Amino acid sequence: MRLETETVRTEILDPRAGHARRSLTLEVRTDPLTGHTARVLHDVELFPEASEDLAALARRTRPGCPFCADRIEQATPRFPPEVVAEGRIRVGEAVLFPNLLPYGRFASVSVYSPRLHHLEPAGITPPLLRDNLAAQRAFAIATRRAEPASRWASINANYMPPSGSSIFHPHLQGSAGSQPTTMQRILAGVTPDAWGDYLDTERRAGTRYIACTGRVHWLAAFAPLGPGEVRAVAPGISDVVGLDDGVLDELAAGTSALLALYARLGRPSFNLALYGCPGSWLSLRVMHRSPVRAYYRSDVTWLERMHLEAAVSLAPEDVAAAAREVFP
C-alpha cells in the first residue's frame, strides 16, 4: 500500500524578519483507506496556551448539573421498557440513559460516575473508561435486540467545551440506527484485506506505529482528521456489539494512556469515536482539541469532526423562508 505525500513549498517576505525572503513547506497527505486528504504544517503552533482553571470551572458548573449524584435520577430520562427493562444501564459507577438530543434512532449518554463532576483526562483511568465502554456496549446490544435493523452503532465523546461539549460533567455518547454516518459509510467500504495491508505498511515503516496491545493495534493517523490523532484497529471485529471483555480492556487502557498524554501536552479537551462498521473492521479514533479557555464552546462536536456529519437545529426550509423576506 502506498502512503501518498506531496510536499508543497511557498515563499513569503516575512515582516518578522525585516521582510526577508522565507521558505515555508507543508505536506498534503492522502489517507489510503478513506481517500480524504490532510495538511501537515511544520514548525508552527496552531493552539494558544490553556487559560482556564478547570477546578474553578467545575465549581461554577456543578450547581444544577443534571449528571451529578443528587440530580441524575430526576433530571435524566429513561428508556422505554421494551428497549431497556430497567430504564437505565449501570456498569460499575457508569450510568447510561437516553440522550435528550438524539442524533440517531437510538441515542445515549453515559457518565463515568455521578460523583465525578470534575474528572480531568489523566483521571479517566482504565477501569472507569472500561465500565463506561461496557455500558455503551450493553446499550448497543439492547437496541439491536429491540430493532435488529439498528446495526450501525458507535461510541463517541466530546470532552470539555472546545470539543463541542455543552455539559461539563464527563460522559460518553452512543448512537445506533439503521443509517450509517458519512464516516461509517466510508469505513464500511474498507475491506479487511485493505486494513491488513495498511497495518503491515505502517508496521514496516515504524514511524507512526505505536503498539500492539494484544488484539488491538495503535498508530498515529497518517492523514489525521484532527490534531494529535491516534487510530486503533481491532482486526476481526466489525461491530460494537461484538466487543469482548478483552478488547474492551485494551481499548480502555490505550485510550486512558492517550488522554493522559494530551493532558501532559496541555491539551485536555478531546473527541473520540469508536465506529462499528458491518463488513469491515471496528476502529477507534481519538484527537485532542483546542485548550480550554473562558467563554468558549465549539459548535463542532464528535459528529461533525469525526463522522463528517452535520447536526443543525435550523431547518433548511426555515432558512429559505427567512431569506426570501430579505431578498428583493
At 98, the pLDDT band (50, 70, 90 cuts) reads very high
Q: Is the pLDDT of residue 317 over 90?
A: no
Q: What is the mean pLDDT of residues 58-71?
A: 94
Residue 101 is predicted with a pLDDT of 87
User: Residue 291 contacts by C-beta under 8 Å, 6 or more apart in sequence?
Assistant: 47, 48, 49, 50, 51, 52, 162, 266, 267, 268, 269
Domain positions in the chain are 5-41, 54-316
Which CATH number does the domain 54-316 belong to among 3.30.428, 3.60.21, 3.30.200, 3.90.550?
3.30.428
Rg over CA atoms, the chain: 21
User: Are 191 and 324 spatial neighbours (Cβ–Cβ below 8 Å)?
Assistant: no
Residue 247 has pLDDT above 80, yes or no: yes
Residue 53 in this model has a pLDDT that exceeds 90: no
CB burial readout 288-306, b (16+ within 10 A) else e? bbbbbeeeeebebbbbebb
Residue whose grid cell is 505502517: 202
Q: Is the pLDDT of residue 224 over 80?
A: yes
Average confidence (pLDDT) over 229-242: 94
The 10s digit of each residue's pLDDT in 134-152 is 999 999 999 999 999 999 9
Is the pLDDT at 2 greater than 80? The verdict is: yes
Compute the average pLDDT of residues 11-31.
92
Looking at residue 209, its pLDDT comes to 92
Instruction: Answer whether residue 113 shows pLDDT above 70.
Output: yes
Which of 36-50, 88-102, 196-210 has the least mean pLDDT? 36-50
Q: Looking at residue 312, what is its pLDDT?
A: 66
- For the cut 90, the answer to whether the pLDDT of residue 187 exceeds it is yes
Asked if pLDDT for residue 326 goes beyond 80, the answer is no
Give 325: exposed, middle or buried? Use CB within 10 Å, 0-12, 13-18, 19+.
exposed
Q: What is the pTM of this model?
A: 0.92
pLDDT averaged over every residue in the chain? 91
With cell 433548511, the residue in question is: 316
- pLDDT tier at 328, thresholds 50, 70, 90: low
Q: Which is more confidently placed, 275 or 291?
A: 275
pLDDT at 174 over 90: yes
Lowest-confidence region among 35-49, 133-147, 150-164: 35-49
Res 295: pLDDT: 62
CA nearest to 106, candidates 148, 76, 72: 148
